[in-house]
Structure formats: structure tokens, C-alpha cells
Amino acid sequence: MIIDCHGHYTVAPEPHRQFREAQLKWLDNPSLPDPVPTAISDDQIRETIEPNQLRLQQERGIDLALFSPRASAMAHHLGDERTALPWARKCNDLNKRVVDLYPDNFVGVCQLPQTTTTPIANSIHELERCVNELGFVGCNLNPDPSGGHWTSPPLTDRSWYPFFEKMIELDVPAMIHVSSTCNPNFHATGAHYINADTTAFMQFIQGDLFGDFPDLRIIIPHGGGAVPYHWGRYRGLADMLKRPPLDRHVMKNVFFDTCVYHQPGIDLLFDVIDIDNLLFGSEMVGAVRGIDPQTGHYFDDTKRYVDALPISKEDRHKVFELNARRAYPLLDAALRARGL
Amino acid sequence: MIIDCHGHYTVAPEPHRQFREAQLKWLDNPSLPDPVPTAISDDQIRETIEPNQLRLQQERGIDLALFSPRASAMAHHLGDERTALPWARKCNDLNKRVVDLYPDNFVGVCQLPQTTTTPIANSIHELERCVNELGFVGCNLNPDPSGGHWTSPPLTDRSWYPFFEKMIELDVPAMIHVSSTCNPNFHATGAHYINADTTAFMQFIQGDLFGDFPDLRIIIPHGGGAVPYHWGRYRGLADMLKRPPLDRHVMKNVFFDTCVYHQPGIDLLFDVIDIDNLLFGSEMVGAVRGIDPQTGHYFDDTKRYVDALPISKEDRHKVFELNARRAYPLLDAALRARGL
């Protein structure tokens, strides 16, 4: 079985986007009527999923994707508590409909109603709802709800702890995932995403989050940002900061996905990172949608790169399936319940 | 000849640090007397350089380093116009003394008196002084003088153009180099440095800086941040953004150094980036000072990694010497004047 740990509903039907637009207009002018979602039909969902994610899954031989709302549209920096929760609920509910229409192909991962002004504890209820009522198996946690100004404390700060406690209680991991940015220095998918991955990893080196939460599981997407490429730097910094070696200090709790869009990058990832820490992911349809003129294949067809690796059948099985089932125990339970 | 394009005076004598400390105290309390630098003797400089940078150069077989003031101590976010210029001048003058004491081993690269509130044009005079009077051959340009809040416009914004015009007139390149950070999210050498490298590169993809300045030369240090590891992502993003291919759009003007502290990272760098865009660099004595238990050698002994590459003698000559002489024409001229 091949599980893609990193998929977003990037092609949601137009009325979904219109609801968000109405929300943002209402924020500018609260005398406008309350934004009301337009109905979205099952057919509208089918029309977006089937020619995109579902087609690509089938073409590439991927069985199942962990599927969350579009990351760039979370936009936690826009709006406040009044809009963040309705928007997150709407996004999660829409994703649940995708899962219900294609239960063999998608399993839900939720967006959180984070804002720059409310504590992360305010996201606990939506996490519980998504896990307990919608059957989702994980969440996307934004370390920078400000959208590129980085005004929140580091992930190792105790203010995040109530959320981590709830994650452990529910037995779900978080993918560290920022959203779009309002800082013109940072292109979202070309700089902000990658920087956030690198930043989170370095925070984990500096702190002792996994000493406090030995059962916490974190996925750092986009191949771990810059980390595997600079693995020597990070090993050396852990040493300079008198932290334990990375395999004990961080890598018992952290996974990297395979969203690295060329063969040399994937080769390096598998060369330096232990196989048990790698989850197959593609981020499709997502950041980079084109075809690589050097290969004639989609940049984000990461399965081709993994297929090309000279690794054992057992290791391939870990990356494609077993590690994801270990990182997401509720996914594993759901698959077992289906006899898988 | 082996030229290290990336060295900082990280071990400057204690009175130098004390002057900075006095400056910062004076900023807090301007009723204190004006900070006055304590004299630093030639012996004090020798005592710091000889057991550190000079010893390591000799042990590793490096002939010459492009040598700038300590990057983390630039701290453009601390102080204002009243302190930034005296601090930059003091740092550059001290570096000039290192160069004068060891003219065969060091060539100067300058710090700029940037602040968060003054235009970059205010740094032009110090650049001119360092190039025309001190014989320096390049500068370190900080894309984020705010120290991790990223409040300046992107490097492609026209507000930076007067400085780029002066760089071209003087025929000097800039290394993009942030300093320490006041944002607790970002460890300086583990996150902020690498993020800034990645960010600058993506800005160059989005903009058309080198269309406007075909003769501008930029060095992105630390192996180009995350860029080579995610080279497929960047090629794909350039395509999605309808920019020309990277080799024409960016890589005629941008160099990456080899400050990547393990063999697999260096292997990837040389695999994906054209040899003409690579400058040997070590950043020593700098970010990571320890010995890699996996190899028994210093993490930052990047020459070992380059030596281990299966590349031709001609390519090695480019990376160790010729590319640096091309990126820094004033270095080339100075070496030629010495018959080198």
C-alpha cells in the first residue's frame, strides 16, 4: 500500500473560495450581512477531485492520501477569532465530504482555527471535533500564524503545551505547516514554507520539547526544509549547544516527508536521514504543478524518485506505508478496521 | 592557489567587543560619556589570528581568505545611525589591520552601517571608503537589518538600487549575509542564516534584478541555503511564475559558497549547480566549531569534502581560485599586481 502523507484540497470548488472572500469583506465592513456559505454539491466535489488528485493518484500508483485543506488558504494572519473558526470548520467539513465520497483514497487531516491574537488552546476544540466526530487522523500546525512576521513564540515555548497535550491524548501527530504570507520578502511556497521547516527543526534542537513530550510526533514537510542538506551543520550545532545527538534528541519524534522535487534531493534525503524517519509525500496538486523539462515528468511526482532509489523492499515498504501507520496511529487503526 | 571566499574575524580581541558593549550602553543611556575605543595592539591581533584562522588555513592548505568582520556582531538591529557607522568603521578598520599584518593570507570584505531606519544609500560612503581607501574587494549586504522581523523590502525593490549601482561602479560583489537575530523563533546560524539565503534566492526568481543589473554579482553563502537541495522546486517555481530558466534568469549573476558541513551536502551541491557558480568557502572559525565524530575532522573543514569529489583538475581550479577571481575582480587585480 502506498500512502501519500501530504495532500491538500488545493482545487476546492469556487463557492468555497467565495465564502472566504465574503468573510474577508465582512471583516473590512462588519455592517455587511454575515457571510453565508453557498451549497456545494457532491458533483462539484467530484468535478474537482477526479481530474486532479484522484487522477494523479491513479496514474502514479498511490493508494491513499492524508488530505488536509489547502495550506496557503488557511491564512491565519487574515481575520480574527470571529472568522478563523468558521473558516477552519468549513474547510474541514468540506474535506470530510471528500473523504466520505472517496473513503479508499483520502483520510482527513485538519486545519486549525489559529490566529495571531488567540492562544493555541482555542484550537483544541476543533482538533477534538475533527478527530472524534469527523474521523481525522492528524492536523496541520502553523508555527507562524502572522504570515511571515513570526510574532508567536517558538514551538518549544510552554504556551504551545496545552495543544501538544491534547495531541498526545488523541494520539494524533501534527505536520508543521505555515500558510500564505503577508510579508513581501517571502514567497509562500518558495521561501516561507521551506524556512518554516528549517526554523522548526532548529527550535527542536535548541529546546527539549521531546524530553517533555516523549510521545509527541511531528512531521516536518518539504523534505525537512534545508535540514538534510545541512545535516552536518545541525549535528555540529547540537554538539556546540551541548544537546544530545540528534538521533536521540529530535529524531525519535520527527519525520520528514519526501516533497523534494528532483532526484539528487531525494537521494540526499535517503542518504543522510534514517529510513524510519521518512514518510512518502508529494504535496500534489500543490506548490509546483509543472512538468520538468529535464525528465518529462511532473516535478511533484515524488514516487518516481523514490522508486529510483536502490533501497531494499523492506525500506520501501517503510517509507510508503509502515512509517505513516506508525506516525498516524488512527490511520493505522482505520486501515486495520478495513482489513488492510 | 586556494581562496576561501567566506571568513569572518570571529575572534577579535576583547577591547573590540567592549567598545560595542559601551556603544549599546550609551544608546540606553545617552548621558553616559561617548564610547571611546580602547587601543588594540598588533600583538593582540596576532594572538587571536595566529592560533585560529591562520593556523587552520595552514593546516588545511588554504592560501587566502576573503575576510570580513564577524557577521553575528554586525547586529544592524541594535542601535541606530549614531552607532551603526562608528561600529562598521571600527570593524572594517580592525579587519584592515589583519590584512596589513598578513597580506598574503587575508583580503578585506566590509561590513555596512545598515540600520532599520536609514536607507541603504547611507551605506554607500562606507563601501567607497573600504574599497577605495582600505583596498577591500567586496561587502556583506544584510537583507534583513531588523534581525529576524524582515521589515525591509525585498532585495529586488528599487530602494536597494542606489547601492547596487555603486557596487557595479566599484566592481565589487556582495555576499548576502544576515546577522544575529532578536526574534526568538530563529537561531542565528541554524535558522536565520539559512533562511535568508533561501529567501534571497527566491526573491531573485520572482524579480528581474539581473535584467536591470546584468553586471551585478551576488554570493549566496552557506551553500545557497536550502536552494540546491530543492533545485527541482526552484526550477519548477521559475516555470510556474513564467520566469526564464534559472541558468539565464539568476545563475549568470549568483554564486553559492561551499559552506555545507558534510560530504553528502557537498556532493549534492556539485551535482546540481554548475561548477562556474561555486566558490570555495569554509566560514571558519565560525558557525560550527566542533569535530564531527563521524569523520574525526572539523565540521567546517570544507576543503576535505571538495578534495573528495571526483571532479577534474580544471573544475577544482575553478572552485578553489578562478571563480573567486571572476566574482571579485579587485581581488584578481590585487593578486595579479603581486604576480599571482
HEC profile of B245-271: CHHHHCCCCEEEECCCCCHHHHHHHHH
Closest CA to B232 of A340, A190, A272: A190
CB atoms within 10 A of CB A32: 11
At A16 the pLDDT is 97
Per the document, the length of chain A is 340
Query: In sequence order, which residues have a C-beta less than 8 Å from that of residue A174 and are 6 or more positions away?
Result: A138, A139, A140, A141, A167, A217, A218, A219
User: Residue B244 carries which side chain, given as an amino acid letter?
Assistant: P
The nearest CA of chain B is from the CA of A328 a distance in Å of 26
- Predicted confidence at residue B287, as pLDDT, reads 86
Q: Residue A310: CB partners within 8 Å, gap ≥ 6? A: none
What is the residue whose three cell numbers read 506548490? Answer: A287
pLDDT digits 0-9 by tens, A237-261: 999 999 999 999 999 999 999 999 9
A314 counts as catalytic: no
Q: Is the pLDDT of residue A218 over 90?
A: yes
User: How many whole angstroms separate alpha carbon B145 and alpha carbon B262?
Assistant: 30
- Is residue A315 within 8 A of residue A269, CB to CB? The reply is no
**From B184, B236, B271, residue closest to A299, measured CB to CB:** B236
B186 to chain A, minimum CA–CA distance in Å?
6
Chain B hits for A299, CB-CB cut-off 8 Å, are 232-233, 235-236
Q: C-alpha cell of A85?
A: 473558526
Is the per-residue pLDDT at A38 higher than 90?
Answer: no
Span A12-41, average pLDDT: 93
Min mean pLDDT across B35-39, B153-157, B187-191 is at: B35-39
CB B198 within 8 A of CB B228: no
Q: Looking at this predicted complex, what is its ipTM?
A: 0.97
For B119-159, the pLDDT digits (tens) are: 999 999 999 999 999 999 999 999 999 999 999 999 999 99
Q: How far apart are CA A52 and CA A55, in angstroms?
A: 5
- Cα separation, A76 vs A60, in Å, equals 33
Nearest chain A residue (CA) to B301 = A232
Q: Which residue of B has its CA nearest to A233?
A: B261
The pLDDT value given to residue B248: 96
pLDDT in tens, A316-331: 999 999 999 999 999 9
**CB B190 to CB A237 under 8 A?**
yes
Best probe of the B interface among A155, A193, A194, A206, by most B CBs < 10 A, is: A194
**Residues of chain B neighbouring A199 (CB-CB closer than 8 A):** 185-186, 191, 195
pTM: 0.98
For B205, phi then psi, to 5°, come to -65, -45
pLDDT in tens, B52-77: 999 999 999 999 999 999 999 999 99
Of all residues in chain A, the one with the smallest CA distance to B224 is A226
The predicted pLDDT at position A287 comes to 86
Inter-chain residue contact B265 with A268, CB threshold 8 Å: yes
Q: Which of A148, A190, A240 is opposite residue B234, by nearest beta carbon?
A: A190
Identify the pLDDT of residue A286.
83
Specify which residues B4 forms β-bridges with: B65
Rounded to the nearest integer, the mean pLDDT of chain A is 97
Residues 6+ apart with CB under 8 A from A169: none
Q: Is B187's CB within 8 Å of A195's CB?
A: no
How far is residue A92's CA from residue A95's CA, in Å, rounded to a whole number?
Answer: 5
User: Is 90 exceeded by the pLDDT of residue B101?
Assistant: yes
The reply to whether residue A191 touches residue B183, judged by beta carbons under 8 angstroms, is no
Distance CA B316, CA B140 (A): 25
Among A220-234, A287-301, B26-40, B44-58, name the one with the lowest average pLDDT: B26-40
Tens digit of each residue's pLDDT (9 = 90 or more) over B245-297: 999 999 999 999 999 999 999 999 999 999 999 999 999 998 899 999 999 99
**Interatomic CA distance for residues A108 and B130, integer angstroms:** 59
d(CA A192, CA A177): 10
User: How close A232 comes to chain B (CA, Å)?
Assistant: 5
Q: Compute the distance between CA of residue A309 and CA of residue A273 in angstroms, rounded to an integer.
A: 14
- Alpha helices per DSSP H over chain B: 14-28, 42-49, 55-60, 81-101, 124-128, 161-170, 193-206, 209-212, 231-240, 246-249, 263-272, 302-307, 313-317, 323-327, 329-337
Using DSSP's 3-state secondary structure scheme, residue B220 falls into strand
Alpha carbon of A130: minimum distance to chain B alpha carbons (Å): 29
pLDDT value of residue A189: 97
Which residues of chain B lie closer than 8 angstroms to A237, CB-CB? 187, 189-190, 287-288
Model confidence pLDDT, tens digit, residues B292-337: 999 999 999 999 999 999 999 999 999 999 999 999 999 999 999 9
Give yes or no for residue B51 having a pLDDT over 90. yes
β-bridge mates for residue B254, sequence order: B218
Name the pairing type of β-strands A297-298 and A139-141: unpaired
Please tell me the distance from the alpha carbon of residue A331 to that of residue A97, in angstroms, as a whole number.
17
Q: Which residues of A touch B150 (CB under 8 A)?
A: 148-150, 183, 185-186
Please report which residue ranges of B105-227 form alpha helices under DSSP H.
124-128, 161-170, 193-206, 209-212
Phi, psi for residue A235 in degrees, rounded to 5:
-65, -40
Mean pLDDT of B85-90: 97
Mean pLDDT of chain B: 97
